[in-house]
């Protein structure tokens, strides 16, 4: 390793390197709304995909397509190998062991899988090993007011099915989790603590170590929604010490329709299955069935093989670039995005300090509804997101129904954000607000 | 005119700033009342709309529409223009206006050909530009959805001679 190698990870990408990265994403080259170059600032909703990911899916279908874990012919071997290599790539990318990664259709499915496994345990499934997953009235599940609906509604439903009570951490005025009362919220009654690593609205990074420590003190399971962290920050799930985690491929340069549930090995081993059927069983009689060990126990039916292969390639692509460098690049983008606070009438929902936040910035423009802000930007080829971003309680906390959100990814350039800021500066004048 | 100016015609911006019918009004006794709350699930915008319907010898008249809500300029202006269009109209005419506005929203920016319908829609034709933007059509229809639902809830449609299909 040379001296430059040790310094490089902390530096953002140079313009030439960024140009090379962008050239890998064919969609970024298209125009929209009558010939305007696309400025894509909606990566928190879904990221664009590099050629290698698109090619990996095509290559799988053209060269390797076969049933995985079932056939004994040559193609089946290659398909199975591609599928399992992808699992290894994803596991290594997030600091997990290969058998700790369960394929799901996405993060929403992963979180629902956990809640239904707990339900099934509560209904008596899983034997003695599943004892720690059983819930009863008086038990509490802790979430936060900042959660995406995908990490809130499944827990509400689990509480409704089991009689457990939902509690939550609030959010401070600057959009960070309020953990000042951590030991009042996480108590002896707490059985699960489910929280987002990074808010998809405020961009704020949660104090994972503090929450995990509090959960461990009372023996509660921790479930991390890592959708907005895995694509943008170096994430080592073993180091974070969470019990379970969920993330989606499509937000990390991979295909739609695939994601992963991470679970500590001993937990997955003790968890009863949720979706049942083919490919997850050992011995089936007309009355009883025994199940395979994880991760296969949670992968009933034909899997999304080509997408999983694509997700593996996306993880490798990011790994090769280096997540430290991705994070350094996006730190610069976050600072550039936060400069919208210099525009009169623009208010940011979330931390305005670039520390412990990613390049996801939600905002309101005084006197102009988010949809109308979006329309003016869209007219100039700038794609942002408007609405509640699947986080209604967080918006309600700030007395808002909708915000606009600009979000970056590894392929975003400073010039994208400059174009966005310039367009945003003209919005209030267009609606006669200044 | 740019497509943005075409979308945000002055009449729309004016209605959005000074909406007609804003603020819920009590319905006098003896009249039929109906209320509906509609949400645009994309953005969380909402409208609560109330109708005041008076039965007449040969049908029913929409005496008053009042509403409250929060939303983008398109949804606010559309509810305002709708209030102007339907107030004082016979329910059969309200139904025709509703159908005409829906047809306009389905026109993909091309507008409607029928001069008579365009005349009836009045300021409503300013929303032609909205129909080019699939994501915004819901905004323009939010108030109309609330109107239709509150009329159904008022019972006025069922009571009307000839039913609702004439």
Residue of chain B minimizing CA distance to A373: B72
Q: CA A207, A212, A217: angle at the middle one, nearest 5?
A: 135
pLDDT of residue B85: 97
Choose the closest CB to A379 out of B4, B46, B70. Answer: B4
Whether A390 is catalytic: yes
Residues from chain A that touch B72, judged by Cβ atoms under 8 A, are: 369-372
End position of a domain, from candidates A302, A319, A336 = A319
Helix (H) or strand (E) holding B4: helix B3-7
Q: CA A384, A387, A389: angle at the middle one, nearest 5?
A: 85
Residue B69, beta-bridge partner list: B47
Residues from chain A that touch B1, judged by Cβ atoms under 8 A, are: none
Count of beta carbons in the 10 Å neighbourhood of residue A311: 32
Contact (CB<8Å) A379/B3: yes
Count of domains forming chain A:
2
Choose the closest CB to B72 out of A372, A388, A432. Answer: A372
Structure tokens at B165: 């299909």
pLDDT of residue B159: 53
User: Between the CA of residue A302 and those of A36, A89, A278, A280, what are the distances in Å?
Assistant: 42, 21, 8, 10
Domain extent for A339:
3-48+322-430
Task: Quickly tell me which residue has 């058998």 as its tokens.
Answer: A99
pLDDT, tens digit, for every residue of A10-58? 677 888 999 999 999 999 999 999 999 999 999 999 999 999 999 999 9
For domain B3-159, say whether CATH 3.90.1010.10 is its number. Answer: yes
Residue A7, pLDDT > 70, answer no
What does the buried/exposed string (b/e) look like for A83-113 if buried means 16 or more CB atoms within 10 Å of the residue's CB? Answer: bebbbbbbbbbbebeebbbbbbbbbbbbbbb
Residue among A45, A362, A372, A399 with most chain B CBs within 10 A, to mutate: A372
Count of beta carbons in the 10 Å neighbourhood of residue A10: 11
Domain containing A133 — which CATH number?
Answer: 3.40.640.10
pLDDT, tens digit, for every residue of A141-179? 999 999 999 999 999 999 999 999 999 999 999 999 999
- Three-class SS of chain A: CCHHHHHHHHCCCCHHHHHHHHHCCHHHHCEECCCEECEECECCCCCCCCHHHHHHHHHHHHHHCCCCCCCCCHHHHHHHHHHHHHHHHHHHHCCCCHHHEEEECCHHHHHHHHHHHHHHHHCCCCCHHHHHHCCCECEEEEEECCCCHHHCHHHHHHHHHHCCEEEEEEECCCCCEECCCHHHHCCCCEEEEEEECECCCCCEECCHHHHHHHHHHCCCEEEEECCCCCCCCCCCHHHHCCCEEEEECCCCCCCCCCEEEEECHHHHHHCCCCCCCCCCEEEECCCCEEECCCCHHHCCCCCCHHHHHHHHHHHHHHHHHCHHHHHHHHHHHHHHHHHHHHCCCEEEECCCCCCCECCEEEEEECCECHHHHHHHHHHCCEECEEECCCCHHHHHHCCCCCEEEEECCCCCCHHHHHHHHHHHHCHHHHCCCC
- For chain A, say whether B130 makes contact (Cβ under 8 Å): no
The answer on A99 and A114 residing in a single domain is: yes
What does the buried/exposed string (b/e) look like for B108-141 if buried means 16 or more CB atoms within 10 Å of the residue's CB? Answer: eeeebeeeebbebbebbbbbbbbbebeebbbbbb
Closest approach of A188 to chain B, Cα-based (Å): 37
Question: Rounded mean pLDDT of A123-149?
Answer: 97
Contact (CB<8Å) A430/B46: no
Q: Answer whether A393's CB lies under 8 Å from A145's CB.
A: yes
What does the buried/exposed string (b/e) look like for B56-90 if buried means 16 or more CB atoms within 10 Å of the residue's CB? Answer: eeebbbbbbbbbebebbbbbbbbbbbbbebbbebb
Q: CA A424, A425, A431: angle at the middle one, nearest 5?
A: 85
The answer on A251 and A221 residing in a single domain is: yes
The answer on A155 and A12 residing in a single domain is: no
Closest approach of B66 to chain A, Cα-based (Å): 21
Contact (CB<8Å) A371/B70: no
Contact (CB<8Å) B74/A379: no
pLDDT of residue A10: 66
Choose the closest CB to B4 out of A370, A375, A387. Answer: A375
Choose the closest CB to A401 out of B17, B70, B139. Answer: B70
Residue of A52, A335, A390, A400 marked catalytic: A390
Helix (H) or strand (E) holding B17: helix B10-17
pLDDT category at B44 given cuts 50, 70, 90 is confident
The answer on A384 and A252 residing in a single domain is: no
Closest approach of B73 to chain A, Cα-based (Å): 7
Residue B165, pLDDT > 90, answer no
Domain containing A351 — which CATH number?
Answer: 3.90.1150.10
What distance lies between CA A232 and its chain's CA centroid? 10
Q: Answer whether A146's CB lies under 8 Å from A196's CB.
A: yes
HSE value, Cβ hemisphere, 13 Å, CA-based, for A80: 13
Q: Answer whether A334's CB lies under 8 Å from A43's CB.
A: no
The answer on A342 and A281 residing in a single domain is: no
Residues from chain A that touch B7, judged by Cβ atoms under 8 A, are: 375
The answer on A75 and A44 residing in a single domain is: no
Mean pLDDT, chain A, rounded, equals: 96
Choose the closest CB to A369 out of B3, B17, B71. Answer: B71
Q: Report the candidate in A59, A57, A83, A85 with the shortest Cα–Cα distance to residue A70.
A: A83
The answer on A339 and A294 residing in a single domain is: no
**A432 phi/psi in degrees, rounded to 5:** 65, 35
Residue of chain A minimizing CA distance to B8: A431
Q: Answer whether A369's CB lies under 8 Å from A420's CB.
A: no
Cis amide bond preceding A47, omega within 30: no
Q: Answer whether A141's CB lies under 8 Å from A163's CB.
A: no
CB–CB contacts below 8 A, A to B? 52
A398 burial (CB, 10 Å; 0-12 / 13-18 / 19+) is middle
Residue of chain A minimizing CA distance to B4: A379
Q: Report the candidate in A228, A203, A231 with the shortest Cα–Cα distance to residue A315.
A: A231
State the complex-level ipTM. 0.88
The answer on A330 and A242 residing in a single domain is: no
pLDDT category at B1 given cuts 50, 70, 90 is low
Residues from chain B that touch A379, judged by Cβ atoms under 8 A, are: 2-4
Closest approach of B110 to chain A, Cα-based (Å): 17
pLDDT, tens digit, for every residue of A248-293? 999 999 999 999 999 999 999 999 999 999 999 999 999 999 999 9
Residue of chain A minimizing CA distance to B41: A387
- Residues 6 or more apart in contact with residue B154 via CB below 8 angstroms: B32, B33, B34, B51, B53
HSE value, Cβ hemisphere, 13 Å, CA-based, for A173: 1
Residue of chain B minimizing CA distance to A369: B72
- The lowest-confidence range among A376-380, A409-413, B1-5, B61-65 is B1-5
Question: Rounded mean pLDDT of B129-152?
Answer: 95
Residue among B45, B48, B75, B130 with most chain A CBs within 10 A, to mutate: B45
Give the pairing type, strands A221-225 and A190-196: parallel
Q: Answer whether A299's CB lies under 8 Å from A86's CB.
A: no
What CA–CA distance (Å, rounded) separates A277 from B14? Answer: 60
pLDDT, tens digit, for every residue of A327-337? 999 999 999 99
- Residues 6 or more apart in contact with residue A91 via CB below 8 angstroms: A97, A98, A100, A101
- For chain A, say whether B8 makes contact (Cβ under 8 Å): yes
Q: Report the candidate in A423, A199, A395, A433 with the shortest Cα–Cα distance to residue B43.
A: A395
- The lowest-confidence range among A8-22, A303-317, A325-339, B128-142 is A8-22
Closest approach of A1 to chain B, Cα-based (Å): 50
Contact (CB<8Å) B45/A402: yes
Question: Rounded mean pLDDT of A292-314?
Answer: 98
Q: Answer whether A201's CB lies under 8 Å from A360's CB.
A: yes
The answer on A125 and A33 residing in a single domain is: no
Question: Rounded mean pLDDT of A106-132?
Answer: 98
pLDDT, tens digit, for every residue of A214-251? 999 999 999 999 999 999 999 999 999 999 999 999 99
Residue of chain A minimizing CA distance to B44: A401
Contact (CB<8Å) A375/B8: yes
Choose the closest CB to A387 out of B42, B46, B133. Answer: B42
Residue A5, pLDDT > 50, answer no
What CA–CA distance (Å, rounded) separates A337 from A409? Answer: 12
Residues on A contacting B at a C-beta cutoff of 8 Å: 33-34, 369-372, 375-376, 379, 386-388, 392, 395, 401-402, 430-432
- The lowest-confidence range among A219-223, B116-120, B156-160 is B156-160
Contact (CB<8Å) B2/A379: yes
Choose the closest CB to A370 out of B3, B7, B43. Answer: B43
Residue of chain A minimizing CA distance to B7: A375
pLDDT of residue A27: 98
What CA–CA distance (Å, rounded) separates A265 from A275? Answer: 19
Domain locations in chain B as residue ranges = 3-159
């Amino acid at each position: 390793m040379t001296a430059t190698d040790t310094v490089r990870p902390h530096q953002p990408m140079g313009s030439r390197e960024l140009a090379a990265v962008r050239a890998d994403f064919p969609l970024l080259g298209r125009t929209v709304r009558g010939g305007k170059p696309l400025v894509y600032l909606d990566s928190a909703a879904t990221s664009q995909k590099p050629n290698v990911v698109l090619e990996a899916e095509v290559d799988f279908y053209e060269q390797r397509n076969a049933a995985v874990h079932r056939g004994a012919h040559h193609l089946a071997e290659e398909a199975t190998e591609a599928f399992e290599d992808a699992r290894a790539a994803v596991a290594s990318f997030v600091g997990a062991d290969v058998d700790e990664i369960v394929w799901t259709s996405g993060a929403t499915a992963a979180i629902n899988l956990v809640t239904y496994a707990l339900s099934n345990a509560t209904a008596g499934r899983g034997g003695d090993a599943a004892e720690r997953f059983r819930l009863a009235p008086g038990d509490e599940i802790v979430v936060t007011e900042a959660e995406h609906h995908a990490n809130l509604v499944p827990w509400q439903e689990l509480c409704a099915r089991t009689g457990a009570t939902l509690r939550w951490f609030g959010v401070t005025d600057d959009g960070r989790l309020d953990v000042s009362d951590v030991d009042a919220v996480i108590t002896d009654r707490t059985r699960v603590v489910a929280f987002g690593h990074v808010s998809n609205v405020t961009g704020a990074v949660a104090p994972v170590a503090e929450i995990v420590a509090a959960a461990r003190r009372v023996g509660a399971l921790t479930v991390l929604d890592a959708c907005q962290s895995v694509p943008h920050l170096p994430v080592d799930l073993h180091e974070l010490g969470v019990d379970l985690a969920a993330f989606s491929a499509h937000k990390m340069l991979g295909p739609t329709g695939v994601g992963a549930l991470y679970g500590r090995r001993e937990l997955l081993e003790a968890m009863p299955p949720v979706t049942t059927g083919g490919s997850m069983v050992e011995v089936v009689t007309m009355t009883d069935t025994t199940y395979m060990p994880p991760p296969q126990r949670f992968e009933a039916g034909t899997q999304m093989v080509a997408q999983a292969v694509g997700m593996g390639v996306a993880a490798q692509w990011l790994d090769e670039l280096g997540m430290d460098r991705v994070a350094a690049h996006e730190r610069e983008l976050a600072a550039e995005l936060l400069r919208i606070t210099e525009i009169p009438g623009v208010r940011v929902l979330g931390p305005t300090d670039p520390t412990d936040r990613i390049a996801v910035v939600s905002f309101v423009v005084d006197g102009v509804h988010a949809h109308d802000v979006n329309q003016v930007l869209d007219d100039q080829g700038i794609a942002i997101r408007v609405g509640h971003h699947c986080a209604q309680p967080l918006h309600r906390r700030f007395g808002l129904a909708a915000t606009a959100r600009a979000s970056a990814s590894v392929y975003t350039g400073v010039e994208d954000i400059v174009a966005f800021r310039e367009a945003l500066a003209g919005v209030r004048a267009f609606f006669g607000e200044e | 005119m740019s497509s943005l100016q075409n979308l945000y015609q002055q009449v729309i911006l004016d209605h959005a700033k000074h909406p007609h019918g804003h603020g819920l009004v009590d319905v006098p006794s003896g009249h039929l009342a109906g209320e509906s709350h509609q949400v645009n699930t994309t953005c969380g915008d909402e409208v609560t709309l109330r109708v005041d319907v008076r039965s007449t010898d040969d049908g029913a008249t929409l005496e008053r529409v009042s509403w409250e809500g929060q939303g983008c300029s398109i949804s606010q202006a559309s509810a305002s223009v709708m209030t102007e269009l339907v107030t004082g109209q016979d329910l059969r005419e309200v139904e025709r206006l509703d159908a005409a506005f829906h047809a306009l929203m389905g026109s993909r920016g091309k507008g409607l050909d029928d001069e008579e319908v365009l005349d009836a829609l009045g300021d409503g034709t300013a929303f032609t530009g909205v129909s080019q933007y699939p994501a915004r059509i819901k905004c323009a229809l939010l108030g109309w959805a609330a109107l239709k639902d509150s009329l159904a809830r008022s019972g006025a449609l069922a009571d009307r001679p000839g039913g609702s299909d004439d």
